[in-house]
Chains A and B, each alone.
Chain A
Amino acid sequence: MRLPQKRAGLGTSVSAPVPPAASASEPGAGSGTGAVPRPPRRRSLRTLPLHLVLIAVGAVMAVPLLYAVLSGFKSTDQLSGNPVGLPDPWVGANYTGILVSGDFWRLVGNSTLIATATALIVVAVSALAAFSFARFAFRGREVLFTLFTMGLMFPFAVAALPLFLLLRSMNLLDNPLGVILPQAAFGLPMTIIILRGFFRQIPGELEEAATLDGCSPFGFFWRVLLPMARPALGTVSVLAVVTSWNNFFLPLLVFTDDTWWTIPIGVQQFQGQYSADTARVFAYLVLAMVPALAFYSVAERQLVGGLTAGATKG
């Protein structure tokens, strides 16, 4: 995520206002401009503690992940004899063994299907509601909106038990819909709030023009608003996908047999099943992390933007 230069200068490390030419800190660029005095050594000395702190925190964040990756390349015997060092020799069997078995891919497929369906439903349904909240004045609007925003305060765990009973009575246990629909329902408040904020920013003139051209409200929504709202739709879809992908509680309740298990359930089961074969569990963990981390690296902007926007507007 790149930020514009002007935002970067809130620092406390510079004690005097620095001319813009000097504040552009491309490595090696400042050496030629002798006109602007800059004390580079003093600055780097001052930021040294900051760098040390950042490196230390970064290490604490990264080491567990690296440890898992490396441990996956060891055999379990090697892991108990040499837990910290590099693998010697590197063993690929843990990873390849999991990748060639169909089980892992079935979990990936299930997670993908459930996440995609959840995102589609929650975004479609929320977009309609957010459109109505943002562009119509009607009696009961504020009551309805408050109802949805209150949904943000309900921890999912509160509804889990009766929800399970309801799904059981609707014969939705061991059915992907039993996870997809509740996930979509619990995603509504956040999605509606974000989309409503976005829809309100679209100028009213567009709407007037569309109406004069004979556009119905739905026509305006479908042909004008949705195409314009593509960035916001992207953000809320990414949020819905990640939330669904990581959900553990609901699939744990709904899927009693392994046909529809998702990755988080699979991880827990795999650990139970191979608890003695530690290196293999590490390999499994790493492979289970890859999709989420890859998705994060591609959609970082939408994910972070959506999470902060959703939290601050809620």
Chain B
Amino acid sequence: MASTFLPDKRTGPETDLSPPPTSAARGRRRRRARHWLTAVGFQVPALVLFGVLVLLPILFAVYAAFFRWGGFGMPSDFVGGDNFVRLFQDPVFLGDLWRCFLLVALSLVLQLPFALALAVALNQRVRGRAVYRMLFFAPYVLSEAITGVLFAMIFAPGEGLADELLGKVGLEGLGGEWFADPDMVMATLFLVMTWKYFGFHMMLHLAGLQSIPKELTEAALIDGAGPWQRFRNVTLPLLAPTLRISIFLSVIGAIQLFDLVWVITQGGPDHHSETMAVTMFQYGFKRYQVGYASAISVVMFGISLVFALAYQRFVLRRDLEGATTTMRGGGK
């Protein structure tokens, strides 16, 4: 990137090997300092906002997690790692972890392939595809609170739309208590999440598909590859970065899931739909066990961090391997 606001030279940390300070060198150094101040000056508002309202709270949560603390005054009753020990013996929290894993697994196995299939379908010349695209994405722009209330009423046992429609087609047996049934609440919740979020993933995949050069699939076509082969061997590998983002966002979404659950079930019945964020909210804002709730925040943070780093490293390396082996294979 050409830029005129560069200092005279690209300077690394090793530029102290400069000749003894002549007046010209001193001038250059002063100019460089001024340049640095200008550049950083533009960052100050963002740094202040981000530091005070994002970084500081997270650091403070890490600190508070080591105290028994009701949230008033400063934390003083240091308990070491007790909150974390208690956390990993708490069946509700262990259930939160399990449910988080469940939602991620369901998203990867059902929601993402579904979104990808529809993206492929709408990447073709189909009549009305602009309308379909708009319709599939529309729920994503609705507030989770509105979506939650809407589906709480649609899945109202016995009187909601879901039971009515099942009754109309003679499948009353499939209906039930939905959100009130401990065994069904997560499945119903996942249905609602798919309704709301798959359109977003579809749009991501669609953007990814459109960035694939047409020449590649055309070349495969000329080489006699069938539709499935073209998809499997050309489109899918090229779509890998997009899919990775999709997976990443699904996981982050599952870790911090709060709004929908809070509006629909508040974690019930009997904790069967509770998520980490809901448990954190319960302890932090309803029971005033702020130290314990902070420990939950820290675990959520730790999981997202570890996941993001490990995932990037692991999957990036695999992508690279795939690329080199393909190249070697194509060379013969």
Residues of A within 8 A of B (CB): 1-3, 6-13, 17, 23, 25, 47, 50-51, 53-54, 57-58, 60-65, 67-68, 80, 83-84, 121, 124-126, 128-129, 131-132, 134-141, 144, 147-148, 151, 153-166, 181-182, 184-186, 188, 192, 200, 203-205, 207-208, 211, 217, 221, 242, 245-249, 252-253, 263-265, 267-268, 271, 278, 281-282, 285, 288-289, 292-293, 295-297, 300, 303-304, 307-308, 311-312, 314
Query: How far apart are the CA atoms of A186 and B58 in the complex, in Å?
Result: 12
Other-chain contact of B138, A61, A83, A126, A285 (Cβ < 8 Å): A61
Minimum distance in angstroms from A205 CB to a CB of chain B: 7
Query: How far apart are the CA atoms of A181 and B53 in the complex, in Å?
Result: 8
Interface SS majority for chain B: helix
Check A64–B138 contact: CB distance below 8 A: no
Check B149–A54 contact: CB distance below 8 A: no
Query: How far apart are the CA atoms of A3 and B209 in the complex, in Å?
Result: 13
Q: Is B256 interfacial (CB 8 A cutoff)?
A: yes
- Excluding A246-B145, A271-B149, 16 further A-B contacts by CB distance (< 8 Å) are A9-B125, A12-B231, A57-B118, A61-B139, A135-B5, A136-B35, A138-B36, A151-B50, A157-B280, A161-B285, A163-B53, A166-B60, A207-B2, A246-B143, A308-B203, A311-B204
Minimum distance in angstroms from B311 CB to a CB of chain A: 10
Check A61–B195 contact: CB distance below 8 A: yes
Check B126–A248 contact: CB distance below 8 A: no
Chain B contacts for A137, CB-based, 8 A? 3, 5-7, 10
| A to B CB contacts below 8 Å, 11 in the list | A1-B130, A2-B130, A11-B125, A67-B161, A151-B54, A157-B277, A157-B280, A188-B54, A204-B3, A288-B143, A311-B245
Q: Mark B144-183, 1 if CB is under 8 A from A, else 0.
A: 1110111111100001110011001000000000000000
Query: How far apart are the CA atoms of A156 and B304 in the complex, in Å?
Result: 11
Other-chain contact of A166, B56, B144, B204 (Cβ < 8 Å): B56
Q: Is B84 interfacial (CB 8 A cutoff)?
A: no
Query: How far apart are the CA atoms of A8 and B209 in the complex, in Å?
Result: 11
Number of A-B contacts defined by CB within 8 Å: 312
Check A264–B301 contact: CB distance below 8 A: no
Chain B contacts for A164, CB-based, 8 A? 284-285
Check B204–A312 contact: CB distance below 8 A: yes
Q: A61-B138, A267-B149, A296-B141 are in contact. Are A129 and B126 (CB under 8 A)?
A: no
Q: Is B184 interfacial (CB 8 A cutoff)?
A: no
Check A165–B71 contact: CB distance below 8 A: yes
